[in-house]
Amino acid sequence: MSRDVAIVRIRGKFRPIEEVEQEDYLPLGNLNEVSAAIRAAFPSAEWSNPTWVVYVGPDFEIEIGLDDVESGNTIVMHVHGPGNAAPSLLRLTEANGWLAIDCSCGEFIDTADPSSEI
């Protein structure tokens, strides 16, 4: 099983994605800042280069692409395996004021009610 997640930052409080205007999307930080945040959340992750990292969880794997961090203000993640990666993803997003978008449904992952589908 494979799922895609995008990490973004928005102005204002958590709300449905359809209520977020284009100008509400904010930068995540520069590549060094975002890399430091990922290293803090996933200290055992393997870095193959400055913009590609793989974190292996108990029954899932998260591939993290940082190519669009500065140009697109987005982190792209590919989640593989049957396990629930939501707690790991939310550990990263909550610590940094970011939000995770479940690309399969086009909705933010609600930290109060995270889906086990991620």
Whether 113 is covered by a domain: the verdict is no
pLDDT by residue for the chain (118 residues), tens only, comes to: 789 999 999 999 889 999 999 999 999 999 999 999 999 999 999 999 999 999 999 999 999 999 989 888 999 999 999 999 999 999 999 999 999 999 988 899 888 776 655 6
Number of domains in the chain: 1
Whether 116 is covered by a domain: the verdict is no
Evaluated on CA atoms 111, 102, 85, 52, the torsion sign reads negative
Whether 117 is covered by a domain: the verdict is no
User: What's residue 90's pLDDT?
Assistant: 92
Quote the tokens at residue 73.
């203000």
Domain hosting 42: range is 2-108
* Residue 34, number of CB atoms within 10 A of its CB: 21
**Cβ distance 99 to 14 under 8 Å?**
yes
pTM above 0.95, yes or no: no
User: What's residue 29's pLDDT?
Assistant: 95
Instruction: Give the CATH number of the domain where residue 11 resides.
Output: 3.30.310.250
Whether 114 is covered by a domain: the verdict is no
Question: What DSSP letter does each residue of 56-108 carry, written as one string?
Answer: E-SS-EEEEE-TTTTTSS-EEEEEESSS--HHHHHHHHHHHT-EEEETTTTEE
Whether 84 is covered by a domain: the verdict is yes
User: What's residue 114's pLDDT?
Assistant: 67
Whole-number Cα distances in Å, 51 to 31, 32, 36, 46, 88 = 8, 10, 12, 11, 19
